[in-house]
Amino acid sequence: MKLLFAITAPALLLGTIHSAGAGDVSGTWKVDGSVFGYSVKPTCTFKQEGTKLTGTCAGAPNDAPLTGEAPDAKTVSWEYIADDKGDKHEMKFMGVLDSDKTMKGKFTADGHGGKFTAQEQ
């Protein structure tokens, strides 16, 4: 029994450490998307705590606070309100991590759909 514990305990610990870091999107990401022929290129800075995301997206005249989630190691979603010279636009992104440094997905700008890619800086 002691031998079994000695073999499995380190493996369980390593699995816990590895899964805690998997899919963490904390950092600065350059987003490149389009909707109706318009470029959408915010730079979003994420802070991930567990599955919760907070941070900011910059790309309009002002930085906008974001909220979102990363419920698993592959899926990310976030939203914010972009202020373009007084015009407010609801932005919602739903992405999938291709790797630790890239993601792609779909987004809506005021309900109109587009696609995006993002690269961690």
CATH value at residue 66 = 2.40.128.120
- Judge whether 8 lies within some domain: no
User: What is the pTM for the complete model shown?
Assistant: 0.79
> Quick one: pLDDT band at residue 60, thresholds 50, 70, 90?
low
DSSP at 98: S
- Judge whether 12 lies within some domain: no
pLDDT of residue 72: 93
- Judge whether 18 lies within some domain: no
Which helix or strand (DSSP H or E) is residue 15 part of?
A: helix 2-21
- Judge whether 5 lies within some domain: no
- Judge whether 1 lies within some domain: no
DSSP at 73: S
Q: Kindly report, residue by residue over 9-58, the tens digit of the pLDDT.
A: 444 333 333 334 457 999 999 999 999 888 999 999 999 999 999 999 99
- Judge whether 11 lies within some domain: no
DSSP at 22: T
- Judge whether 31 lies within some domain: yes
How many domains would you assign to the chain?
1
- Judge whether 3 lies within some domain: no
In which domain, by residue range, is 52 found? Answer: 23-120
Which DSSP string do the residues of 86-97 spell out, in sequence order? TEEEEEEEEEEE
Residue-averaged pLDDT of the chain: 84
d(CA 72, CA 67): 16
